[in-house]
Amino acid sequence: MVLADLGKRINGAVNSALSNTQDDYVAAVDVMLKSIVTALLESDVNIRLVSSLRNSIRNTLLENKNRSMGSMQTKKLVQKTVFDELCSLVDCEAQPFQPKKKKQNVIMFVGLQGSGKTTSCTKLAVYYSKRGFKVGLVCADTFRAGAFDQLKQNAIKARIPFYGSYTDTNPVKVAADGVSKFKKEKFDIIIVDTSGRHRQEEELFQEMVEISQVVKPNQTIMVLDASIGQAAEQQSKAFKDSSDFGAIILTKMDGHAKGGGAISAVAATNTPIIFIGTGEHVHDFEKFSPKSFISKLLGIGDMESLLEQYRTVSNKEDHEATLENLQKGKFTLLDFQKQMQTIMKMGPLSNIANMIPGMGQMMNQISEEETSTKMKRMIFVLDSMTKKELESDGRIFTEQPSRLVRVARGSGATVFDVEMILMQQQMMARMAQTSRAAQQGGGMPGMSG
């Protein structure tokens, strides 16, 4: 993944500058900046932005010239300056629109064909519907044959009401009809998917303006394919001139996406990125936050997104039941089973690993398939246990070793596999007990509150 490469290279430059024991601070800073600049340019960040970023990092570091390059404080300063400067590039002051419940919010999507518009419409619909909004999808793309079918299939799969027409070829009318139907039915959010073209052309922009005039969107979102790299800037400017979108969704940030293009696009249009698409599945959709994005870019993990994703896919009652158990210092096999099921729902493990500090690199060494097979086997083992066993602390198997053999046989695993699961669950249970004891006793030894 290009993003991880960029992070690795920037970290490498910082580390090698810090291990540089030579006295010439300015020379060491310049060598480091040269490596960072090369890494950013190769990741497709716009040359003007890189140059201003370089100057600003250089100035901060030179203001602190009196500190020696080897000190821990300097290391933190270098990392923080690089982090803050990159954050300020993607963090624009404009606040994205927040839909309100019981108000009819119309959101219109624009973007070129193939950018991931239809896919992202459904992802956004699912995102809001999971948060209690009543959401409808309107397909106003009458240009591309099959566009309505695609939206319809996605919507049916995601259980989102939809509107479109096989016979009407006037996109403005279809958009108006769809919005008016959902408004009458008191929908909170109405998402309108418009047509794209292979290229930016006059008719496309004209059509967008006309649709916008009739549906009067509260928010227009431009969908941008991150893999187009440098072209992102020019493309977003062209769309901004005609549709004045208020937010960006950046798709295909998985695979070979060049994160630099995103940075350029935001800086060029002063428009916030609100979500990023990280795969074809409906859940491969992350809320964009500048700090999380840059953390990932620099390979320092992103626990914020991980928790957000966890909250989205986990069942609220299960989650609360586990929390309650943990507060009592307990962690049963049933808690373990639910955690595993939630993790499996969170999408490809490599996506999850990339959000955990240090895990992304580790995952590169183990095959995705191998890990996923292991996790599925664990779920089969847990599924083969009885309710009583699941609700227990696992010691029940020490008293009845024959059950251990039965569970292994029933799930197609080995006795060793079952023992490993029990060992892991008991480790978690011990952690729950320790943290409970710490809470009651006023903290763990050696750790502040």
Q: Which residues bind ligand GDP (CB under 6 A)?
A: 111, 113-119, 150, 196, 251-252, 254-255, 277-280, 284
| Phi–psi pair at 423, nearest 5 degrees | -65, -45
Minimum distance from residue 293 beta carbon to ligand GDP (Å): 15
Structure tokens at 139: 């397909």
Minimum distance from residue 276 beta carbon to ligand GDP (Å): 7
For residue 285, give the nearest of 256, 312, 319 by alpha carbon. 312
| Beta-bridge partner residues of 39 | none
For residue 106, give the nearest of 193, 207, 215 by alpha carbon. 215
| Cβ atoms < 10 Å from Cβ of 406 | 15
Euclidean distance between CA atoms 80 and 92, whole angstroms: 19
Q: Decide whether 28 or 140 has the Cβ nearer to ligand GDP.
A: 140
Question: What stretches of 237-301 adopt beta strand conformation (E)?
Answer: 247-251, 273-277, 285-287
Q: Decide whether 161 or 347 has the Cβ nearer to ligand GDP.
A: 347
For residue 99, give the nearest of 67, 71, 135, 70 by alpha carbon. 135
Cβ atoms of residues 384 and 311 within 8 Å: no
Minimum distance from residue 124 beta carbon to ligand GDP (Å): 12
Q: Decide whether 128 or 331 has the Cβ nearer to ligand GDP.
A: 128
The type of residue at 17 is: A
Cβ atoms of residues 232 and 199 within 8 Å: no
Structure tokens at 85: 């400067």
Euclidean distance between CA atoms 186 and 208, whole angstroms: 25
Minimum distance from residue 337 beta carbon to ligand GDP (Å): 30
Q: Decide whether 190 or 221 has the Cβ nearer to ligand GDP.
A: 221
Euclidean distance between CA atoms 393 and 433, whole angstroms: 12
Euclidean distance between CA atoms 392 and 390, whole angstroms: 5
Minimum distance from residue 353 beta carbon to ligand GDP (Å): 17
Q: Decide whether 175 or 432 has the Cβ nearer to ligand GDP.
A: 175
The CB-nearest residue to ligand GDP is 277
Minimum distance from residue 50 beta carbon to ligand GDP (Å): 26
Minimum distance from residue 369 beta carbon to ligand GDP (Å): 18
Q: Decide whether 284 or 389 has the Cβ nearer to ligand GDP.
A: 284
Minimum distance from residue 197 beta carbon to ligand GDP (Å): 10
Q: What is the DSSP string of 287-339?
A: E--HHHHHHHHTTS--HHHHHHHHHHHS-HHHHHHHHHHHHTT---HHHHHHH
Q: Decide whether 200 or 384 has the Cβ nearer to ligand GDP.
A: 200
Q: Decide whether 250 or 382 has the Cβ nearer to ligand GDP.
A: 250
Cβ atoms of residues 355 and 308 within 8 Å: no
Minimum distance from residue 120 beta carbon to ligand GDP (Å): 6
Minimum distance from residue 278 beta carbon to ligand GDP (Å): 6
Q: Decide whether 54 or 144 has the Cβ nearer to ligand GDP.
A: 144
Q: Decide whether 113 or 392 has the Cβ nearer to ligand GDP.
A: 113
Euclidean distance between CA atoms 110 and 115, whole angstroms: 10
> Which alpha helices (H) appear in 43-116, and where do they start and end?
47-63, 72-90
